[in-house]
Structure 1
Amino acid sequence: MRLIHVVGARPNFVKMAPLYQELEKRSAFKQTILHTGQHFDPEMYQVFFDQFGLPKPEIELGITGGSVNDQLARMLSAIDKILSNLEPSMIVVYGDVTSTLAAALVAVRYSHLLVHVEAGLRSFDNSMPEEINRIVVDRLAHRLYVTEQSGIDHLSTEGVDPGKVVFAGNIMIDSLYRYLSKTSPVTDIEPRLSDINGYGVLTLHRPGNVDNELRLRAIMDGIARVAQQFPIVMPIHPRTRGRCNEFGIALESIEGLILRDPLSYIDMLSLVKNASVVLTDSGGVQEETAALSIPCVTIRDNTERPATITCGANRLVAPHAEAIAGAVAEALKPGSDMSVPPLWDGNTASRIADDLLQQVWAMEHACA
C-alpha cells in the first residue's frame, strides 16, 4: 500500500521524521516523500535529511517564492499530476502550511485517505493563513491526530465525527527527545556565550509581527531592554532580516543581541535546551520549550497551543517594549511550576503508526 508524506516547510520535516521511521519498521506501507519546495534553503536542505536519517524525497516539486496564493495554485496543479499517476492509498499531511492545504484539496478529489497529523489546533484568528488552512484540512481529513485536549474540544464543537479523531500526542516532541542526546555544548554553537551566566534565544518570523514596521520596532525595543540583562541569540529568519533592512532597523546596533544565520534543527535544539528564557512567535518553539520546561515568552496576541500556557511554561505578551521586558522578568521568577502536557512523551509516532495499520486492516477487510 503506497503512502505519500507531503512536506514543504521546515517544521513538516521535524514532524514527519519519527512517523516515517516508525512506519519503516512495519511492512504494510511503501512510503514516498513529496517535497513541494515551499521553504527551500539549499545550504540547510541536505543537512536536514542527514540529521533526521531520512532518504532524499522521491518527488521534489521545487515550488518556492511568490505569494501564498501563487504557491497554492502551482502546488495544486503539480500535486494533482503526481497523485493521478501514483494512485496512493493514503496521503499524510502535517501542520498548517500551504503545502498541507494543497495536498488535502487534491487528495479528496481522488478519494484518497487523508491523514492530518497535528489536527484541531485553533488560534481563532482568521487573519492568519495557517488558521484557515487548519480549518479546511480538518474538515476534509479522514483521520485526525490531535496533540492536546483543546484539539479534541475544537473538533467536537465543529461537528467533526469523533470516530475520526485520535488523541495521539505531540509528534514534534518525539523528534525533540530523540535528538537531545545529539546536541552540542552551547559554546560550540555560539562561542560568544563563553563565560556567560545565562542567555536568551529569540525567533521571530510571523508576518503579523515583522511586516508591520511599528510592531517590529516595538518588539525589537523590548528585546533591546532584555538584552541589557543577558545576551539574546537570534537566528534570524530571511523574512525578518529583509523587513529590518527595509524599515531601517539596525539589529547590529542592539547591544547584547547576537545575530546568527538560520541553524540546523540540532544546533537550534542545543541553544534552546540551555537557555534561561526563549522569546518567540513560533508554534513549534512554544511546544519544544514546554516539553523541556524552559520559560517561554510568546510575542503574539493568541496561541493555537494553549496547553503550553496551562502547563506553566508559556505566556503571551503584546508587542510592546515594556510588556516584553516585564513578561521576561515574570518568566524568570524562581519557583514557577511547570509540567509536560499529556502524551508529549516521545511515543506519538508509534501510536499513530499502530492506528494507521488498523486503518489499513479495516480498508482491506472492507474490500474483501
Structure 2
Amino acid sequence: MLITIIAGARPNFMKIAPIVHAIQSAKKEGKNVDFRLIHTGQHFDKKMSGDFFEQLGIPEPHANLEAGGGTQAEQTGAIMIRFEQELLSNPTDLVLVVGDVTSTMACAITAQKLKVKVAHVEAGIRSDDWGMPEEINRLVTDSITNYFFTTSEVANENLRKTGITEDRIFFVGNTMIDTLLKNRPRFIAPPIWEEANLQEKGYLVLTLHRPANVDQESQLKDLMDEIIHHSHGVPIVFPVHPRTAKSLQGLGIAAPNLHFIEPLSYLEFNFLVEKAKLVVTDSGGITEETTVMGVPCITLRDNTERPETITIGTNELIGTNPNAIKPAFDKLFNGDWKKGGIPPLWDGKTADRIVAHLLELSVKA
C-alpha cells in the first residue's frame, strides 16, 4: 500500500511527522506499506530548512510543488494543477491530507477527480465560522473524504450529523500531541530566555496572527494596551508573525516588560510555552499543546474548532473584545485558573492507530 502524504504549511509537518514514523516502523516489521511525502509549497518558511526536518526526524519531501503565493483561488488552482501532474506521474493507493489549509482541500479534490481515495487526519472539527478560510477548507474536504481520522468525540458527532457512517469514522487522537510528547525532552531554550532573564512561571507568551485581531491597527493597539496594562509587569514574550509585524509598524507599542522577537523553531517555542505562566493566543494548535502541558491559555477569538481544550483542558475562550482581558488576567493572577485535564487518546500513540486502521482497510479493499 502506497500512501501519498500531503503537507502545505509548517503546522502540517508537525501533524504528519508521527505518521511518517509509524509507516517507517510498520514497513520495517514487514508490513506492505510505504509513503510518498509531498510539500505543496503553499507556505514558504525560511525556518523550514533541513534543520526543521531534522528536528522532527522526517525526510525531505519527495517533491515540492512550489505552488505558494497569489490569492486563495490562484493558490488552490496552482496546487490542483501541479498535484494532478504528481499523481499521474506517481500513482498511489491513497492520498492522506491533514488539518485545514488550502492544500488539504485542493489535494483532496484532485485525488477524488482521479478516483484516488482520500483520508483526512483531524477530520470533523468545526468553528461554524464561514468567515474563516480554514472552515471552508474543512467543510469541502470532509464532504469528499473516504476515511475520517478524528481527535475528539465532538468531531465524531459533527461528522455523524452530516450522514457519515460509523465505519468511516476512526477516533484515533491527535497527531500534534504525538509530536509534542516525542519532542518534549528535546525542547531547547531560545536566546530570549537568558537575554530577558526569564524564570519558570514568571512570564507570558503572546501570539497573534488572525485578521480580526491584527488587520485593524486600532484593534491590535487596544489588545496590546490591555495585555500590557494587566500583566502585573511580568515579561511578555511576543514572537511576531509576519502578518502581525506589518500592522505593528508605526503603532509605537512599547513597554519595559514587552519583548518582540522573531518567530521561533518548534523546539524553542514549546520550551517557552511549557514554562510560561500564561499563553495568550489566537491560534488553535497552541491551545492543544497548552492543554497537554497544563499551561493556562487565553484564546482571543469568538469561536474555536477545538472545544475540548476548553471543556477538558486549560484554555479559556474570551473573544476579541479588549475589555475581556482584565477579568481573565485577574483570574490568573489571583490563582483561580482551572487545572484542566488531557482529552481521551491524546497519548502519543495516534499515528500508530492511524496506520493500523489504514492497513486493515487495505486488506479489505
- Shorter-chain TM-score: which interval? over 0.9
- Correspondence 1:120-139 to 2 at 5 A: 120-139=124-143
SS at structure 2 position matched to 1:44: coil
Q: Within 1, Cα distance between the matches of 2:287 and 2:259?
A: 21
Query: How big is each residue's C-alpha offset from its partner over 1:281-335, in whole Å with a ceiling of 9 and x where there is no partner?
Result: 1110010001111100000000010000011411111223331132123244436
Q: Within 2, Cα distance between the matches of 1:312 and 1:32?
A: 35
Which residue identity is paired with 2:25? K
Q: Within 2, Cα distance between the matches of 1:195 and 1:213?
A: 29
Give 1:75's aligned residue. Answer: 79
Deviation of 1:81 (Å): 1.0
Give 2:306's aligned residue. Answer: 305
CA contact under 8 A between 2:217 and 2:251: conserved in structure 1? Answer: no
Q: Within 1, Cα distance between the matches of 2:119 and 2:340?
A: 32
Task: Pick from 228, 231, 235 the counterpart of residue 231 of structure 1.
Answer: 235
Structural RMSD (CA): 1.6
Q: Within 1, Cα distance between the matches of 2:315 and 2:158?
A: 21
**Aligned residue pairs, count:** 359
CA contact under 8 A between 1:6 and 1:99: conserved in structure 2? Answer: yes
Query: How big is each residue's C-alpha offset from its partner over 1:253-308, in whole Å with a ceiling of 9 and x where there is no partner?
Result: 23311111111111111010000000011110010001111100000000010000
Deviation of 1:43 (Å): 3.6
Query: How big is each residue's C-alpha offset from its partner over 1:173-195, in whole Å with a ceiling of 9 and x where there is no partner?
Result: 00000000001246x55223326
Q: What's the TM-score once normalised by structure 2's chain length?
A: 0.94
Deviation of 1:46 (Å): 2.1
CA contact under 8 A between 1:276 and 1:332: conserved in structure 2? Answer: no
The alignment status of 1:11 with 2:11, answered yes or no, reads yes
Query: How big is each residue's C-alpha offset from its partner over 1:72-101, in whole Å with a ceiling of 9 and x where there is no partner?
Result: 111111111111221111111010000101
Q: What's the TM-score once normalised by structure 1's chain length?
A: 0.93
Give 2:339's aligned residue. Answer: 337
- Correspondence 1:11-90 to 2 at 5 A: 11-27=11-27, 28-90=32-94
Q: Within 2, Cα distance between the matches of 1:330 and 1:324?
A: 10
Give 2:363's aligned residue. Answer: 361
Give 1:366's aligned residue. Answer: none
In the superposition, relative to structure 1, how do residues 66 and 227 fare at CA in structure 2: closer, same or farther (>3 Å)? farther
Q: Within 2, Cα distance between the matches of 1:212 and 1:45?
A: 32
Q: Within 1, Cα distance between the matches of 2:164 and 2:218?
A: 40
The alignment status of 1:326 with 2:319, answered yes or no, reads no
Deviation of 1:208 (Å): 2.4
- Share of identical aligned residues, percent? 39
SS at structure 2 position matched to 1:69: helix
Structure 2: where are the runs of 5+ without partners? none
Q: Which moved more, 1:300-309 or 1:207-216?
A: 207-216
Deviation of 1:340 (Å): 0.6
Deviation of 1:228 (Å): 4.3
Give 1:156's aligned residue. Answer: 160
